[in-house]
Amino acid sequence: MPPIALILFGSPGSGKGTQSRLVRDRCLPGPHISTGDMLRAHIEAGDEIGIEVQCLMKSGHLVPDDLVNRLVEQRLKQPDTRNGVILDGYPRTVAQASETRRVLALGGLLPVVLHLVVDYDRIVARLSGRRQCPVCGTLYSLSTNPPKVPGVCDLDGATLVTREDDREEVIRERLGEYDRQTRPILEFFSRVGVKVAEVNGADADPATISQRICANLESFRSQQAQG
C-alpha cells in the first residue's frame, strides 16, 4: 500500500497544529509540512521567494496558488516524505486541491483528508478569554492559566491586554471565513473519491483525539489492504 499523505483540516483554535505533531509521533512518521511555516522560513531567509511573499503580504494580496503549489511540490520531493506526510494549511482552494492530487500521485502518496470538527462556541470562549502582556508577550487564559492578580502580568506587573484577533467578533468572522473556504475543498475531495473523515476535536484531551485520528488511518489502511 502506498504511504499516506494526511491532509488535515481544522478551524482556527481547533488544535490542528498540536494534532499534527501528536499524529506524527504516534502513527504517521513522515514530516509535518506547513505552508505557513515554509513561507515564514523564506521571509526570514530573505531569499527571492521570501521577498516576493513579503511584498504580496504588505500590499494586502494573497500568495498566488502557483507559488504555494511550487513550494509544496519541491518539499514533497525530499527523501523524508517517502513514508508519508502530514499537510497542514494546504490546500486552501479547490485549485490547490486539484494540484495536490496530481503532486501526491507523482510522489506515490495516497491522500486521506481528515477534518477536525469543533464547537465554535467553545473556540470563541477559549480564544476570547486569552490575555497577553504587552511587555514580555506572555499569554494567559482566564479559564485555564489565569494571572495571579487579575489583569496583571505575573512576570513584570504590566496591565494585560486583549489582542485584536482575540475579540469575539473577529474570531467569529475568521471561523465564518474558514467555513466558506473549506467546505468546497472537502466537497471536491469527496467528489473525486478521496477518503474524507471527520473527528470530534473538542470533547477530549489532545492525546485521545490523536488516538481517534490514528484509528481512522489504521482503518483506512486495513480497507486498502483488503482491496
Grid cell in block for residue 11: 478551524
The full DSSP string for 19-40 is HHHHHHHHT--S-EEEHHHHHH
Examine the residue annotation and report whether 221 is marked as an active-site residue of this protein: no
What 3-state class would DSSP assign to 168?
A: helix
Answer whether the bond into residue 146 is a cis peptide, omega within 30°. no
**Amino acid letter for position 100:** T
The full DSSP string for 178-209 is HHHHHHHHHHHHHHTT-EEEEEE-SSS-HHHH
Q: How far is Cα 175 from Cα 45, in angstroms, rounded to an integer?
A: 31
Examine the residue annotation and report whether 26 is marked as an active-site residue of this protein: no
What 3-state class would DSSP assign to 107?
A: coil
Grid cell in block for residue 127: 480564544
Examine the residue annotation and report whether 148 is marked as an active-site residue of this protein: no
Residues β-bridged to residue 77 = none
Q: Count CA within 13 A, CB hemisphere, residue 21.
A: 5
Answer yes or no: are the C-beta atoms of 128 and 171 closer than 8 Å.
yes
The catalytic position among 21, 26, 70, 92 is 92
The catalytic position among 24, 75, 126, 130 is 130
Examine the residue annotation and report whether 16 is marked as an active-site residue of this protein: yes
Answer yes or no: are the C-beta atoms of 90 and 37 closer than 8 Å.
no
The catalytic position among 101, 122, 172, 174 is 174
Task: Give me the active site residues, please.
Answer: 16, 92, 130, 163, 174
